[in-house]
Amino acid sequence: MIPVNTPLLEGNENKYLHECINTGWISSEGPFVGRFENEFAEKVNRKFGISVTNGTTALELAVKAIGIHAGDEVILPSFTIISCADAIVRAGATPVLVDCNMDTWNMDVSKIESVITEKTKAILAVHIYGLPAEMDLILAIAKKYDLKVIEDAAQMHGQTYKGKPCGSFGDVSTFSFYANKIITTGEGGMLLTNNEEIAKKARYYKNLCFNNETRFVHQNSGWNMRMTNLQAAVGVAQLEQLDKLVEKKRWIGNLYHELLGDIREFQLPIDQREYAENIYWVFGIVLNDCSYSVQEICTHLSKNKIGTRPFFWPMHEQPVYLKQGLFNDTSLPNSEFLARNGFYLPSGLGITETEIRTVAHCLKDFIND
């Protein structure tokens, strides 16, 4: 079996986990939590790191911490994970969707201004699959209309945009450390900011709005989004290997490019733009003018014990939102096309060269049949 993702845990993960067990520090009170927050924030060039339970809660906390309220509108790409839109909807605000580019798969920045209204409060920028969103243009629009920016960098540990770390832009950025992300803590997430007020608010709301003066008297309701010392221990060990992990992702991407580059009907990920080299969080393929479907190709791979995933399903086609009366007349053709014609190959950090060659071979067998 070649699973769609296998994590790589070859550094000090074991050692640090044993330290947690041996010292009895397993909850969020343990020393690895603060260490992971500081070291991660420093890597991304941010002042404050606030660890949380996952990338979804990081987004929810970010929306709360920058002060998005009921009635506000937040602009985001339709082609993304549901965590992004859910965070906005849960705050009582309205997600306003923008289509993506067909080549970069990121939000089409030229479409943002036309959906700005009096109610628009923020832009949620998401970096998709390995190539950063066009942050300079997004930040310029945000400045012009006085909007906040949340940067979802869940897929981008170690990536840069014009030489600056992804996750260092906007008022607040969020990361996930799920097992398929570039560094992982199994489950886990982080919110980063340079703004002390936002950091304070995030710490307060992620920890049930406890306060130091009156321990069990609460003025607000928050969440328990605390990361454990066990997760943070794995995070510290993973962070030590970040450069190596990024290098391996690029090696995986380059090898797939080399092996699949001559297949006419495959649109492969862009290898670079002037602002960044692709980090290939996942190696996506979009089918163009094909006699076969994504379903057929993925079934063939699955029969040969190779895992795949379809691309994101756009937010404006999510039954859960349509039932709430959202996005009913929305049509965003690029997102719709990618959802129906895109899928990604096994590209986890644990993959071997032999496995990549097996995957490419199996794809070619299918096409030449």
Ligand X SMILES: *Cc1c(COP(=O)(O)O)cnc(C)c1O
DSSP secondary structure code for residue 357 in this structure: H
Cα separation of 347 and 249, whole Å? Answer: 8
Q: Which residues pair with 165 in a beta bridge?
A: 160
Among positions 172-191, residues that touch ligand X (CB under 6 A) are 176, 178, 189
Q: Which stretch binds ligand X (CB under 6 A): 49-57, 132-140, 330-338, 358-366?
A: 49-57
Nearest 5°: CA angle at 96, between 332 and 155? Answer: 80
Q: Estimate the share of the chain in helix, then strand, then coil, as percent rounded to the nearest 5.
A: 40, 20, 40
In the complex with ligand X, which residue's Cβ is closer, 73 or 152? 152
Q: Which of 54, 106, 278, 335 binds ligand X (CB under 6 A)?
A: 54
What distance in Å separates the CA atoms of residue 8 and residue 246, rounded to the nearest whole number? 12
| Interface with ligand X, residue 74, by CB under 6 A | no
Among all residues, whose Cβ is closest to ligand X? 55
Q: Does 129 bind ligand X (CB under 6 A)?
A: no
Residue pair 208/223 in contact by the 8 Å Cβ criterion: yes
Beta carbons within 8 Å of 368's beta carbon, 6+ residues apart: none
Nearer CB in complex with ligand X: 62/362: 62
Strand order across the 283-287 sheet: 266-267, 283-287, 342-345, 309-310
Determine, following the binding rule CB under 6 A, whether residue 5 of this chain makes contact with ligand X: no
Site string for ligand X, 135-154 (x = CB under 6 A): -----------------x-x
Run of H or E residues at 95: strand 94-98
Q: Which three-class secondary structure state does DSSP give residue 174?
A: strand
Contact status: 155 vs ligand X (CB under 6 A): yes
Among the listed ranges 48-56, 114-122, 198-206, 263-271, the one in contact with ligand X (CB under 6 A) is 48-56
Q: Which helix (H) or strand (E) holds 62?
A: helix 55-65
- Least CB distance from residue 56 to ligand X, whole Å? 3
- Residue 335 found at the interface with ligand X (CB under 6 A): no
Min dist CB 359 to ligand X, Å, is 22
In angstroms, give the least distance from the CB of 352 to ligand X.
24
> Of 80 and 229, which CB lies nearer to ligand X in the complex structure?
80
Question: Is 81 a residue that touches ligand X (CB under 6 A)?
Answer: yes
Binding site for ligand X (CB under 6 A): 54-56, 81, 83, 126, 152, 154-155, 176, 178, 189
